[in-house]
Amino acid sequence: MAVSAPVATHDEHYARGVTLVLIAGCFWSIAGLVVRLMHEATEWQILFYRSLALVVTLLIFIGLRNHGKLIETFLLAGFHAYMAGAFLSIGFACWIFAMTHTTIANALFVLSAAPFLAAILARLFLGEKVKRSTWLYMILASAGVAVMVGEGAKIGTLSGNLYALGAAMGFAAFTVTLRKGKAVDMTPAVCWAGIWGTFIAAFMLAGSQLSFSLSTHDVLLCGLLGFVQVGLGLILFTAGSRYVPAAEITLLSLTEVVLGPIWVWIGVGETPSQLTLLGGAIVLSAIVAQAIHGVRKRPPVGVV
């Protein structure tokens, strides 16, 4: 009797997806530190050069992974990848506006709604049901974010809060669309996001008569953001989205919120408050609980 190669179980696939998403959140979390290290770059300059670096990174990655078959890979990913990239680029742009129209604390708190939005969209368009435990962990994580940003929260402007909500919606829609196209390689979606982001930022810079010129120091840091922070981060997130439901994957990615203040603390000495540390611990507890509880037991897979 022939023995087939071992087949990965549901638990193994889920664990792999969780690991990829948690690492993606770690990459995303360095953004605050890198931006703090810049000398003069504005928000739109950062978005332009970061998006440009993201496009280069993804073209190289997709080309190497698929033996130079760039066009074929983009065509195979199809319309879902194109739309996912458009949704993410909207999230990028809304986040820039949110940071300039309301406090960072308010923006972060509204952004923590992304798992709830992803849960609703996934239910409507994918038929993915959200477990009761996941709802509980999402509520716990939101409470943790509220504790983290409580000291900096203000009434803020309606427009700023709406932009932050737009960022959360863009990220949620991106996640759900990735899930929709999970049967194929969806990394072209990240490249589309970079392409859209580059054009949006270029349009804003040109329309505002702002300079594209930056110091070498800042350009290199923008490149670091494009290659590592969003580039590698989104590659891992996209890979993980094949195995983890939309609501859970957006919850797990909140490691970005937990680790961000820690890197700034270590890198430039901005000491987080006790509430920030407490809130971060609450969010981290929700993430760890979801990661552990999310591995659903299935009967062992035999061999033939």
Q: Which residue has the tokens 């669309």?
A: 177
Instruction: Give the global pTM.
Output: 0.87
Using the predicted structure, report yes or no on whether residue 7 has a pLDDT greater than 50: no
- Residues 203-253 have pLDDT tens digits of 989 988 888 999 999 999 999 999 999 999 999 999 999 999 999 999 999
In order of 95, 105, 129, 179, the CA distances from 108 in angstroms are 10, 5, 26, 24
pLDDT in the model for residue 232: 96
Q: Which residue has the tokens 């009434």?
A: 155
Using the predicted structure, report yes or no on whether residue 1 has a pLDDT greater than 90: no
- Residues 279-304 have pLDDT tens digits of 999 999 999 999 888 765 433 433 33
Q: How far apart are CA 149 and CA 251, in angstroms?
A: 18
- Residues 167-178 have pLDDT tens digits of 999 999 999 999
Q: HSE (CB half, 13 Å, CA atoms) of 197? A: 35
What own/partner pairs with CB < 8 Å and gap ≥ 24 does 146-149 have?
146/109, 146/112, 146/279, 147/275, 147/278, 147/279, 147/282, 148/108, 148/257, 148/261, 148/275, 148/276, 148/278, 148/279, 148/280, 148/283, 149/104, 149/105, 149/106, 149/108, 149/109, 149/279
Q: How far apart are CA 7 and CA 188, in angstroms?
A: 27
Instruction: Place 82 in a pLDDT band, splitting at 50, 70 and 90.
Output: very high
Q: How far apart are CA 122 and CA 118, in angstroms?
A: 6
- Residues 116-149 have pLDDT tens digits of 999 999 999 999 988 889 999 999 999 999 898 7
In order of 118, 141, 279, the CA distances from 112 in angstroms are 11, 8, 13
